[in-house]
């Protein structure tokens, strides 16, 4: 559909967090007029999200936006699951980024906002979305602006406005789940007597605790104190020190907190990620205990999945039902995230003799069974995510993550920098298909062989780095597939 002249933008995004900013950048990469409305006049200084996982780094790398992060962040090859004493080993992951990167969320948001605005996004700060309505052709977004109330119109609105999403509520999308019943704590502090080795987890009858180094030399202490469960009590440095002391039997010389906060285990997921012209991404679509540091990552990956699809629909390059695949693909990922964090919460809050024994048994299993650690790493890093096709006859690679394999004298990720699909030709025999692909605006690149055991003659890689279609055969099959899929591709 073409933009109606009275529209303020094709897409209005509520919320300039990681989801909203990455989505805006993706839409602008495709040339979609996009406005972001953000209620906060300026970005807060505190670090909620700290751990950036491998798939997020891959997503950023596909657009040439990972280098600064990787240079400035602190690489942690081992990270926790459920604050178990054995850490999960991320160094075994088959990715250019086999680690969890400690990188403060405000710095990441700075970077994402810079990219979004450089690509032409308008980010309006001090604009609070208060409601919306939609009809067949547009969405009207009400906002409280510095100059008073104002309405914006757009073809689509996306709620990236966090856990208490106004967009979700105004669109009437249910958010079933459970409220917080357990409360953790965190403090970003100086430790005069820090643990000797990087990240440390501790559990005792007095509580669970993780101590992780921050990139600036301070530490994040985060944990769960069975005696600190009154949500009405404000966290002070003395209470934080007492909780750490109870769990660890010492306080590590803890002082000078720059930020202290408590968090709960509320666990909810939007029933649908789409209602007509309104979509949801990130915390607006799913909330959970921030265990294992995954929420921000899933938010960015939601946005990556949605961006190219929304751009293609807005620009009339794809049928509207392409947008339904956003819910179909990302809702199960959100459900897995909730399940994973619920399991971690059970371990974090396990203080009975039985609970502590369960933790010991699991930690021991993880030590003795590297596969178990590797599976957890693949899940938490986002690398295990795939979008299995409904068509059982599809090539086994369909819907799988495309690794950063050698291609066209470089590697796959840089070939995706402009946000367009790529046809990989593994045999150099795609004469007719190459022409069809060119007509559809899909560049063709030569590649040696798909890594691993798969027999692949050609594969089409989606703009978000998953295999859209693959074949063992060549030319004719690819040409036919391109014709069938053509209308769907940027
Ligand atoms: C203590 C803690 C530690 C965490 N640690 C990690 C970690 O290590 N790794 C990780 O991946 N995740 C972590 N998370 C989770 C992570 O912070 C979130 O999942 C992430 O911020 C979600 O991004 P988002 O863009 O969806 O939402 P948000 O970051 O919440 O952004 C939403 C934005 O929308 C704005 N907004 C809200 N309402 C409106 C409105 N009506 N109008 C306009 N704007 C609005 C808000 O001001 C905000 O800027 C942690 C969370 C907590 C609480």
**Euclidean distance between CA atoms 50 and 296, whole angstroms:** 9
**Euclidean distance between CA atoms 56 and 300, whole angstroms:** 7
297 lines ligand 1 (CB under 6 A): yes
265 lines ligand 1 (CB under 6 A): no
Kindly report the protein residue whose alpha carbon is nearest to atom 27 of ligand 1.
Answer: 162
Q: How far is CA 138 from CA 37, 410, 454, in A?
A: 17, 42, 45
Q: What is the structure's pLDDT at 392?
A: 81
- The 10s digit of each residue's pLDDT in 24-48 is 999 999 999 999 999 999 998 888 9
Judge whether residue 175 has pLDDT over 80.
Answer: yes
Judge whether residue 126 has pLDDT over 50.
Answer: yes
**Euclidean distance between CA atoms 443 and 437, whole angstroms:** 7
33 lines ligand 1 (CB under 6 A): no
Identify the architecture of domain 11-50+104-178+268-334 in CATH: 3-Layer(bba) Sandwich (3.50)
Residue-averaged pLDDT of the chain: 93
102 lines ligand 1 (CB under 6 A): no
Q: What is the structure's pLDDT at 5?
A: 52
Kindly report the protein residue whose alpha carbon is nearest to atom 35 of ligand 1.
Answer: 15
21 lines ligand 1 (CB under 6 A): no
259 lines ligand 1 (CB under 6 A): no
Q: Are 258 and 200 in contact (CB under 8 A)?
A: no
pTM: 0.96
Q: What is the structure's pLDDT at 108?
A: 97
- The 10s digit of each residue's pLDDT in 325-345 is 999 999 999 999 999 999 999
188 lines ligand 1 (CB under 6 A): no
Strand 278-280 vs strand 274-275: parallel, antiparallel, or unpaired? antiparallel
Q: Which residues of 80-94 are buried (b: 16+ CB within 10 A; e: fewer)?
A: bbbbbbbbbbbeebe
Q: Are 115 and 59 in contact (CB under 8 A)?
A: no
The DSSP call for residue 146 is T
Q: Which residue has the tokens 């050698």?
A: 406
Best CA proximity match to 59, nearest among 11, 114, 108, 12: 108
Q: Is residue 2 very low, low, confident or very high in pLDDT (cuts 50, 70, 90)?
A: very low
Judge whether residue 4 has pLDDT over 50.
Answer: no
**Mean pLDDT score, 385-411:** 91
Beta strands in 214-357 (DSSP E): 219-224, 254-264, 267-269, 274-275, 278-280, 286-287
Residue 205 neighbours by CB distance under 10 Å: 12
Judge whether residue 18 has pLDDT over 90.
Answer: yes
- The 10s digit of each residue's pLDDT in 284-339 is 999 999 998 899 999 999 999 999 999 999 999 889 999 999 999 999 999 999 99
- Find all residues with CB under 8 Å of 325, minimum gap 6, and list them: 309
Q: Which residues of 147-173 are buried (b: 16+ CB within 10 A; e: fewer)?
A: eeebebbbbbbbbbbbbebbbbbbbeb
Residues forming CATH 3.40.30.120 domain(s) in the chain? 406-488
Q: Which fold has domain 183-264?
A: Alpha-Beta Plaits (3.30.70)
Residues forming CATH 3.50.50.60 domain(s) in the chain? 11-50+104-178+268-334
Q: Please give the share of the chain, as a percent, with pLDDT higher than 90.
A: 78
**Euclidean distance between CA atoms 254 and 455, whole angstroms:** 56
**Euclidean distance between CA atoms 79 and 96, whole angstroms:** 17
15 lines ligand 1 (CB under 6 A): yes
Distance 249 CA to ligand 1 centre (A): 33
| Local structure of 476: helix, strand or coil | helix
Q: How far is CA 135 from CA 132, 140, 161, 277, 323, in A?
A: 11, 9, 22, 8, 17
Strand 422-425 vs strand 444-446: parallel, antiparallel, or unpaired? parallel
Distance 465 CA to ligand 1 centre (A): 24
Judge whether residue 64 has pLDDT over 80.
Answer: yes
Distance 15 CA to ligand 1 centre (A): 9
- Closest ligand 1 atom number to CA of residue 222: 1
162 lines ligand 1 (CB under 6 A): yes
180 lines ligand 1 (CB under 6 A): no
Please identify, in words, the CATH class of the domain defined by 406-488.
alpha beta
Distance 282 CA to ligand 1 centre (A): 8
348 lines ligand 1 (CB under 6 A): no
- The 10s digit of each residue's pLDDT in 445-485 is 998 888 887 789 899 999 999 999 998 877 778 888 887 77
**Could you give the angle at which helices 370-381 and 324-348 cross, rounded to 10 degrees?**
130
């Amino acid at each position: 559909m073409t933009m109606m002249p009275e529209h303020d933008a094709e897409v209005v995004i509520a919320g300039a967090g990681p989801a909203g900013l990455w989505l805006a950048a993706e839409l602008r990469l495709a040339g979609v007029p996009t406005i972001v409305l953000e209620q906060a006049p300026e970005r807060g200084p505190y670090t909620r999200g700290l751990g950036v996982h491998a798939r997020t780094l891959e997503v950023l790398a596909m657009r040439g936006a990972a280098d600064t992060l990787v240079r400035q962040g602190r690489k942690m090859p081992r990270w926790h699951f459920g604050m178990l004493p054995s850490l999960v080993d991320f160094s075994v992951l088959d990715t250019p980024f086999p680690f969890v990167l400690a990188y403060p969320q405000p710095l990441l948001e700075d970077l994402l906002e810079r990219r979004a605005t450089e690509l032409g996004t308008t980010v309006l700060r001090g604009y609070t979305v208060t409601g919306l309505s939609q009809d067949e052709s547009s969405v009207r977004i009400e906002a409280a602006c510095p100059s008073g109330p104002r309405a914006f119109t757009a073809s689509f609105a996306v709620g990236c406005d966090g856990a208490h999403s106004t967009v979700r509520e105004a669109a009437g999308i249910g958010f079933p789940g459970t409220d917080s019943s357990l409360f953790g704590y965190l403090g970003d502090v100086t430790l005069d007597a820090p643990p000797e080795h990087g990240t440390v987890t501790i559990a005792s009858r007095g509580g669970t605790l993780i101590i992780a180094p921050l990139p600036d030399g301070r530490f994040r202490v985060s944990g769960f104190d069975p005696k600190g469960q009154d949500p009405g009590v404000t966290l002070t440095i003395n209470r934080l020190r007492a909780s750490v002391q109870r769990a660890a039997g010492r306080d590590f010389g803890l002082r000078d907190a720059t930020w202290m906060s408590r968090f709960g285990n509320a666990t909810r997921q939007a029933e649908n990620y789409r209602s007509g012209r309104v979509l949801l991404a990130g915390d607006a679509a799913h909330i959970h205990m921030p265990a294992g540091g995954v929420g921000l990552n899933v938010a960015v990956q939601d946005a990556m999945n949605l961006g190219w699809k929304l751009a293609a629909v807005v620009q009339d390059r794809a049928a509207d039902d392409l947008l339904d695949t956003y819910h179909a693909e990302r809702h199960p990922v959100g459900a897995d995230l909730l399940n994973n964090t619920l399991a971690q919460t059970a371990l974090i809050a396990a203080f009975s003799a039985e609970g502590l024994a369960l933790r010991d048994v699991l930690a021991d299993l993880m030590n003795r069974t590297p596969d178990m650690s590797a599976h957890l790493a693949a899940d938490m890093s986002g690398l295990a995510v795939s979008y299995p096709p409904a068509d059982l006859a599809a090539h086994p690679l369909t819907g799988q993550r495309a690794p950063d394999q050698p291609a066209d004298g470089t590697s796959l990720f840089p070939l995706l920098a402009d946000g367009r699909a790529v046809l990989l030709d593994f045999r150099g025999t795609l004469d007719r298909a190459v022409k069809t692909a060119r007509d559809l605006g899909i560049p063709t690149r030569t590649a040696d062989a798909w890594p691993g055991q798969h027999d692949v003659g050609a594969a089409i890689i989606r703009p978000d780095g998953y295999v859209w279609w693959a074949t063992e055969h060549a030319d004719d099959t690819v040409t036919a597939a391109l014709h069938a899929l053509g209308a769907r591709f940027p």
